[in-house]
DNA sequence: TAGATTGTTAATCGATTAACAATC
DNA sequence: TAGATTGTTAATCGATTAACAATC
């Protein structure tokens, strides 16, 4: 059951769209819908219907039915399983300042398969405190604690000057994936997954689009 | 000078890389480097050298010189101008809670051409306060104030339930670009630029990469 | 000069979209 | 049945990479 499908590498683009499908389906589910068509999803999410069908085909355990579409509950379950939303992994947060605590508060990341088990900071005023139920520990204990807890994912939310050091400490502790919110390119070993959350890049794309829109009109 | 080049549509992918080049060049500048080669940039940033050259060709006012490379100062100036870092635009923030105040504190967005002139919230405890020098106003005044200040960019950092309402109010006030941090797909008129900061999408991509890495090793 | 580095043209790769037969 | 909707094959589009001649 789907074992092989999950090994086939599914494109980054598709994976990036799955959470949006998931949210959308959850909404529909809450509204009491039992089935949904790819055309409806495409229209509401401003995507191409063929693209939606192809994406869903890659992760769904049951094919859609002509005339009816896809089973909402089943599709949600499929995405849950594919993205590991049913199977929470532990993570640590480095940097318990503004951004860090916003992140902890924000997401309800647990719904997205991520459980933040500890935070770290160098600021003595923060160490020992809790933010949203997460204990803030001394950054000097980072590597050893990460190793002891066997954590594989680290989130970096420190000022840019401290980001490389944080990354190094995470790697030393055995972390294999880093979600980096600091505006720096981290130098890391080959076999570590990194995802940079580059706000400046997003902003650049947005403002160029804005400029285009403004130029098109009168 | 470069007028036409800027109208030629430059790919989103390229625009997204420019801030990284900019940061890198600023670092090199601080280290006293006068020139830089595309090969060096590519190596440090883990990109392809041809890609770097093509990206730079699109925005640079002077071509690189064989054997020497590009002039660091000039390149920085070119990116500044291209991305509008030299020409700050006003923006408003909707939602002055955890994420909102982290965003204001975070970026030093002014360096990225963005000046947050006001924040809005519905929470009476926040209204009237200032976060990092930005005044928090009553959300009911959003549309009128945005219109009065002639602001074109809105940042949404409210809980997902409130996001569509915030977007509507921004549009009503005349905003033309929305940077959305709420995990919802916003329904908006055609001619409004939107950039969704979808944390769940980033996380999905990161965890899939992690899964791949872990599976590759014994 | 020799070699590092450039810019450009062509090839490749990957992702999106169009066309269409199959089916509930 | 007719029509909405599916999945798949082929065409298109866009972005990345390779190959290479030009040049300081």
Which pLDDT tens digits describe chain B residue by residue (218 residues)? 333 344 457 999 999 999 999 999 999 999 999 999 999 999 999 999 999 999 999 999 999 999 999 999 999 999 999 999 999 999 999 999 989 999 998 767 888 999 999 999 999 999 999 999 999 999 999 999 999 999 999 999 999 999 999 999 999 999 999 999 999 999 999 899 999 999 999 999 999 999 999 987 75
Question: Rounded to whole angstroms, how far apart are CA atoms A211 and A207?
Answer: 6
All structural domains of chain A: 7-83 (1.10.10.10), 89-200 (3.40.50.720)
Longest dimension (CA), chain B: 62
pTM of the model: 0.93
- Asked if pLDDT for residue A3 goes beyond 80, the answer is no
Question: Rounded to whole angstroms, how far apart are CA atoms A12 and A15?
Answer: 5
List the single best residue of A90, A163, A204, A212 to mutate versus B (max B Cβ within 10 A): A204
Tell me the CA–C1' distance in angstroms for B62 and D15. 24
CB-CB neighbors (< 8 A) of A7 in chain B: 215
Summarize the confidence of residues A13-18 as an average pLDDT: 97
* Strand D atom within 7 Å of B98 CB: no
What is the token pair recorded at A21? Answer: 């499908």
* Strand C atom within 7 Å of B50 CB: yes
- Asked if pLDDT for residue A2 goes beyond 70, the answer is no
- Asked if pLDDT for residue A107 goes beyond 80, the answer is no
Tell me the CA–C1' distance in angstroms for B48 and C2. 25
- pLDDT interval class at A122 (50, 70, 90): very high
* Strand D atom within 7 Å of A39 CB: yes
CB-CB neighbors (< 8 A) of A152 in chain B: 210, 214
Question: Rounded to whole angstroms, how far apart are CA atoms B119 and B94?
Answer: 6
Q: How do strand B35-36 and strand B70-71 relate by DSSP bridges? A: antiparallel
* Strand D atom within 7 Å of B48 CB: yes
Contact at CB, A213 and B192, closer than 8 angstroms: yes
Summarize the confidence of residues A11-22 as an average pLDDT: 97
CB-CB neighbors (< 8 A) of A216 in chain B: 191
How distant, in Å, are the alpha carbons of A105, A177, A181, B46, B204 from that of A195? 20, 8, 9, 13, 10
Question: Rounded to whole angstroms, how far apart are CA atoms A166 and A164?
Answer: 5
Q: Give yes or no for a contact between A69 and A36, defined as CB atoms under 8 angstroms apart.
A: yes
φ, ψ of residue A71 to 5 degrees: the values are -80, 120
Show Cβ contacts of residue A32 under 8 Å, excluding neighbours closer than 6 positions: none
Question: Rounded to whole angstroms, how far apart are CA atoms B100 and B95?
Answer: 6
Q: What is the DSSP letter of B95?
A: -
Q: How do strand B193-196 and strand A114-121 relate by DSSP bridges? A: unpaired
Three-class secondary structure of residue B19 per DSSP: helix
Among the listed residues A70, A132, A77, the one whose alpha carbon sits nearest the alpha carbon of residue A101:
A132
Element (H, E) at A35: strand A35-36
């Amino acid at each position: 059951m789907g074992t092989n499908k999950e090994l086939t590498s599914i494109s980054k683009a598709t994976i990036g769209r799955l959470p949006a499908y998931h949210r959308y389906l959850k909404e529909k589910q809450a509204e009491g819908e039992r089935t949904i068509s790819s055309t409806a999803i495409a229209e509401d999410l401003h995507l191409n219907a063929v693209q939606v069908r192809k994406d869903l085909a890659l992760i769904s355990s049951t094919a859609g039915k002509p005339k009816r579409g896809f089973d909402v509950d089943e599709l949600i379950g499929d995405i849950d399983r594919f993205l590991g939303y049913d199977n929470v992994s532990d993570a640590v947060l480095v940097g318990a300042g503004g951004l860090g605590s916003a992140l902890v508060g924000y997401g309800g990341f647990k719904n997205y398969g991520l459980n933040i088990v500890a935070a770290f900071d160098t600021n003595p005023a923060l160490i020992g405190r809790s933010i949203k139920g997460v204990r803030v520990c001394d950054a000097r204990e980072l590597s050893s604690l990460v190793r002891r807890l066997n954590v594989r994912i680290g989130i970096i939310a420190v000022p840019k000057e401290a980001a490389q050091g944080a990354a190094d400490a995470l790697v030393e502790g055995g972390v294999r994936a880093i979600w980096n919110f600091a505006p720096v390119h981290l130098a890391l070993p080959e076999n570590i997954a990194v995802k940079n959350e580059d706000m400046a890049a997003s902003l650049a794309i947005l403002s160029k689009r804005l400029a285009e829109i403004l130029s098109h009109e009168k």
